Amino acid sequence: MCLYTFMPGVTFNKACFSVIKYVALRHPLSCLISVSFFFSHRLATKVTIAGGALYVTYDSGLLGGSAQGSEVLGKAKAAIPPAVDEWVKYFGFELPAFPKMGFSPVEAWNSGVQSSISALSSGPTALGGYTNQGLQYLKDLTK
């Protein structure tokens, strides 16, 4: 770990392998201990990272019930624009303004659903009326 801290160009694996090689060449009996230390150290780091991610997810309520999940989404929605503004100011460039839409997709969808369902519900009655009208017209023709 000391090599990794003070030599940024060297990767973690290369540093650990170089330490193991040094120890194994000088003290062959300790080769086994150094290899097991390397693997246990790497495994401990990985387990810490994965366990930490799992704990943060559980603690923030992401794995709870429906109410908790929708609360977390609301908090995230509220927190994202200030965070984006802060990062934009930090990096010193302006994002283009979000284009404003002239219509609301939710309202358009809801009105579409209502029109479709009302047409479907009044469909059989209207069809019956048109059929009767057509039959009456044909009867008048044959008179």
Partner 1 sequence: MSEKELGKKLDRCLADSAVKLGAGLGLGIVFSVVFFKRHTWPVAFGLGMGLGMAYTNCQNDLRAPYLIQRNIKMAS
Footprint on this chain of partner 1 (rule: CB under 8 A): 46, 49-50, 53-54, 57, 62-63, 65-67, 69-70, 72-74
Residue with tokens 């090599």, as numbered in its chain: 3
Nearest approach, Cβ of residue 94 and partner 1 (Å): 28
Nearer to partner 1 among residue 23 and residue 38 (C-beta): 38
The residue (of 66 and 142) whose beta carbon lies closer to partner 1 is: 66
Taking the least distance from each CB to partner 1, the nearer of 73 and 135 is 73
Q: To the nearest whole angstrom, how small is the minimum distance from the Cβ of residue 51 to partner 1?
A: 10
Q: How far apart are CA 139 and CA 133, in angstroms?
A: 10
CA distance 87 to 90: 5
Q: CA–CA separation, 34 vs 23, rounded Å? A: 7
Q: Provide, rounded to whole angstroms, the least separation between the CB of residue 57 and partner 1.
A: 5
CA 97 centroid distance within chain:
24
